Structure 1
Amino acid sequence: MAKRIFRTLRAGFFAAACAALMPVSASAETLADAMASAYEHNGLLDQNQALLRAADEDAAATYALLRPIINWYGNVTYTNSSAITASSAGLRAHSATNVAEMGLSLELLLYDNGATKLAVEASRETVLATRQALISVEQQVLFDAVQSFLHVVRDARIVELRQNNLRLVARELQAAQDRFEVGEVTRTDVALAEASLAGGRADLAVSQGQLMQSQEYFASVTGHQPGALVAPTSAPKMPKSGDEVKAVAVRAHPDMIRAKHEITVAELNVARTRASLGPTVKLKGAYGVQETFSETYESQVGSLGFNVTAPIYQGGRLSALLRKSMAQRDATRAALHVTRHNVRRSAGNAWAQLSAAGAQLAASGRQVEASRVAFEGVREEAKLGSRTTLDVLTAEQDLLDAESNRITARAAQYIAAYGVLASMGQLTAEQLNLRVELYDPEAYYNMVKDAPTLTSKRGKKLDQVLRAIGKE
């Protein structure tokens, strides 16, 4: 419930949200259903959404530094003193006082060479960078859902294929035994069929184990065990060339956008550090009541004035901090260069994997057709005595391998297609039009950007939202 409260702060409930939150039918779970489940239930997204809220609050806390700071104060002081003075004729005079005071203090930043305003801008840029980090995590979560879904589909079909092949080999064994009894084949042919059957059972056990691993992977990503998954019938629309993929990736990938925001943050920090070398002007005031109990004396005290400070010498610390901020800026600029190359390489690799998977699928399709023709021919020739049992088993194994290759290639092609989308920064719930309540990164920020207090109307609403999130 808390997720619904938070994710709809600005836009309200989406009409499709109810359908998205209904239990997924075990008899018809599509790839889109699996990605929607991953988006709604994956803890990694929840973690990074919370980190984004923390960045929003950092921006609000920095903005609050431009506002007045008002505190109340109070203290009780007991003073006991003794002194020898000329007026006391050489005798020690003792005195004791009890003083209590209470009041309000005020502090307002008037001028600091722009350092705090630069800090506010830097914190807002940090929020924008953190949003892009969240998109990167979202892409990884959805891509994990794609891989886990297609791995289950692939492994389930391979298990089914091996089960069917095992039944076929069992019939071949029975036929070899029948022919051995009438003297048409030798004991060697029967042994070959028995060995093939045992090998088929071992391969089936391995495939079943792989399927169970894929099912666990699926469950960890989506939050539930897979039912009867509906294999996709078409891949998402792809760009025309690898160069187009790279161009989009460099322009729109969240890692690239985040790196640019981080450069802006680093540049603002340099300016902020340089501004800290200048003077700071603050308005300070206080008003309070003071009472001296020993003398039954009460007074009201008020003060208002300006405080001006400026660094002169701090042992070279400020200069070192300025040089450090400049070095960090240079490092961040270099990181953009590295990120650009990584994004381009990832996009190129994704396109290469898609091309290779497409070629593999086409070749494996032709291999299946040829292997099926060969197997049927060898089997008919064996009935006429011109082929041995070994020939039949070999042709049958070739057909099984070809069909397994085609199943694997088809899954690899779909995974590669979604990998291309991820490399371009387009594997998001919004761009895939998934039936989920989309997380709105601006909703929370807009509520906290001017730092509402806990006692304000908006602050109380935020407190209710955060309490609900924490109870989930």
Structure 2
Amino acid sequence: MSSTSDELQTRTRIAGMQATVEQYTAALNSARARLAVLTGMQAERYSPVPARLAIEQDAVNRIDYASIPAVMAAQNMEKAAQYGIETAKSQHWPTLSLKAGRTRYESDNRSYWDDQIQLNVDAPLYQGGAVSARVRQAEGARAMAASQVDQARFDVLQKASVAQADWTGALGRREAGKRQLESALRARDVYKNEYTLSKRSINDLLSVEQDVWQAISAKIMAEYDGWSAAINYASAVDNLMPLVGIETNAAAKLPDLS
């Protein structure tokens, strides 16, 4: 291979990598701009990802469904439906009411108290099955509410399980990227030695350098995918804000100025 062709290929590859660097720089600036809009501030430094976001192996088996808003809302609907059943069933029974009164009478001849107690019984004799129909309707509403509770729990479990699987896969790819990087670095050292002995061309050095870059890129992408999965998991179980240090329900602790 002639030195002229080596130089041309080298310049071509350098130009290609410079274009790639510009693309990544533009993407980074765009991400920082979006973050500034979301947070309302332009940060000069960024904190590392909190280690507490890491997903434990058996995390999906310890999900606290009772603290997740979507599940809580569905459970409240189920309780309301149960109350509707009890209200409808109560219409089968008579309604009792007790009234008491005391009146004082004064006259020239005598004075006395008139005490009265009145018991009222309101009993439906026949309603043509209307009460039973209302009970069945309320029971149907409760069954639907119960299914919504199950669906809410299933949605949380599904999102959390997918996020945990993505996290595990990303960890495996990160370890593979580390091994790939170690191999590429060893190959680069060998190629440099062989280049000094005129056994390798500059194009060979550029090729192995590209292998190093690809290994580093794969490792970074695996780490990104892993933390993205961790964020998705924390969001699914409604635990993201406490993990990143954002206090929830802070407004409830503020003094009442009204």
TM-score (normalised: structure 2): 0.71
**Do 2:55 and 2:167's aligned partners in 1 also have CA atoms closer than 8 Å?**
no
Structure 1 residues 238 and 252: alpha-carbon distance in aligned structure 2, compared to 1, 3 A threshold: farther
Structure 1 residues 274 and 213: alpha-carbon distance in aligned structure 2, compared to 1, 3 A threshold: farther
Corresponding residue number in structure 1 for 2:32:
215
Corresponding residue number in structure 2 for 1:113:
none
Q: Which amino acid aligns with 2:31?
A: S
**Do 2:241 and 2:247's aligned partners in 1 also have CA atoms closer than 8 Å?**
no
CA distance in 1: counterparts of 2:188 and 2:35, whole angstroms: 36
In the TM superposition, residue 400 of structure 1 has moved relative to its aligned partner by 0.9
CA distance in 1: counterparts of 2:183 and 2:143, whole angstroms: 60
Corresponding residue number in structure 2 for 1:438:
250
CA distance in 2: counterparts of 1:367 and 1:347, whole angstroms: 30
Query: Which runs of structure 2 are paired with 1:57-136 in the superposition (5 Å)?
Result: none
> Of 86, 95, 103, which aligns to 1:271?
86
> Of 2, 5, 10, which aligns to 1:193?
10
Q: Which amino acid aligns with 1:410?
A: E
CA distance in 2: counterparts of 1:225 and 1:318, whole angstroms: 64
Corresponding residue number in structure 2 for 1:259:
74
Query: Which runs of structure 2 are paired with 1:12-31 in the superposition (5 Å)?
Result: none
The percent of aligned pairs where both chains have the same amino acid is: 22
Corresponding residue number in structure 2 for 1:329:
142
Q: Which amino acid aligns with 1:440?
A: A
TM-score (normalised: structure 1): 0.42
In the TM superposition, residue 399 of structure 1 has moved relative to its aligned partner by 0.8
The answer for unaligned runs of 5 or more in structure 1 is 1-183, 282-307, 445-460, 466-472
Query: Which runs of structure 2 are paired with 1:136-155 in the superposition (5 Å)?
Result: none
In the TM superposition, residue 276 of structure 1 has moved relative to its aligned partner by 7.2
Q: Note the alpha carbon deviations across 1:345-378, whole angstroms, 9 max, x for none.
A: 2222222122122222222122222212212322
Which structure is richer in relative contact order (CA contacts within 8 A, separation 6 or more)? 1
Query: Which runs of structure 2 are paired with 1:301-312 in the superposition (5 Å)?
Result: none
Partner secondary structure for residue 76 of structure 2: helix
Q: Does 1:372 align with 2:185?
A: yes
Corresponding residue number in structure 2 for 1:68:
none
Q: Does 1:416 align with 2:233?
A: no
**Do 1:189 and 1:389's aligned partners in 2 also have CA atoms closer than 8 Å?**
yes
Q: Note the alpha carbon deviations across 1:91-138, whole angstroms, 9 max, x for none.
A: xxxxxxxxxxxxxxxxxxxxxxxxxxxxxxxxxxxxxxxxxxxxxxxx
Q: Which amino acid aligns with 1:226?
A: A
**Do 2:81 and 2:145's aligned partners in 1 also have CA atoms closer than 8 Å?**
yes
Q: Which amino acid aligns with 1:195?
A: T
Partner secondary structure for residue 231 of structure 1: coil
Q: Which amino acid aligns with 2:177?
A: S
Q: Which amino acid aligns with 2:179?
A: R
Structure 1 residues 249 and 391: alpha-carbon distance in aligned structure 2, compared to 1, 3 A threshold: farther
Q: Which amino acid aligns with 1:246?
A: N
Partner secondary structure for residue 241 of structure 1: coil
